[in-house]
Amino acid sequence: MSFEYIKALHIIFVVTWFAGLFYIVRLFIYQTEAMERPEKERDILKPQLDMMASRLWYIITWPSAVLTLIFGTWVLSYRMGYLEMGFMQAKLAFVLLLYLYHFGCHKLFKEIQKGRTRWTSTQLRIWNEASTLLLFAIVFLIVLKSTLSMVWGLLALIGLGVTMMIAIKLYKNYRNKNS
């Protein structure tokens, strides 16, 4: 298989993995909020949301994470010299953080499927933004191929993080006013 096909497959599975990560935490939020509903509503919502989360997690998100790793390693085998470059080392560090985030989501998934949650929906909304920050870091590093640009990128990430926190707070206030 040619390098371009392998790289294309890597990118496709990165996209589907991120789609799964973005949506699974949204489902965690809905599941958490469903657990706070009256029993009649909870008995309808919880099984449906649990089924949706289970299908997303095991049919899309986990396979995409594994295939991303397989094709990413394959791509890197064509570009072994990249391992010595600072931008690639930084990118791989962010990818490691992304896999740790994935495992954190798996732990949350297991708890919520059992009907237990220790996180509020607001905390989960904040957790959901971690994958967005990692996406920005990884994409900018791989496109710019520069650790010097990473300094500016990190400053932009901090700004993005602060902006997202403000947006979450504003949304929470809006939601509370309109409830």
End-to-end CA distance of the chain: 55
Nearest to 142 by CA among 14, 18, 31: 14
- Collapse the DSSP code of 33 into the 3-class scheme (helix H, G, I; strand E, B; otherwise coil) and give the result: helix
Residue 165 CA to residue 49 CA, distance in Å, equals: 26
Length of the chain: 179
Residues annotated within the binding site for heme are 10, 91
User: For 36-146, where are the alpha helices, taking DSSP H only?
Assistant: 39-55, 62-78, 86-113, 121-144
**Most distant CA pair in the chain: distance in Å?**
60
* Amino acid at residue number 57: W
Nearest to 62 by CA among 25, 18, 17, 100: 17
- Collapse the DSSP code of 22 into the 3-class scheme (helix H, G, I; strand E, B; otherwise coil) and give the result: helix
Residues annotated within the binding site are 10, 91
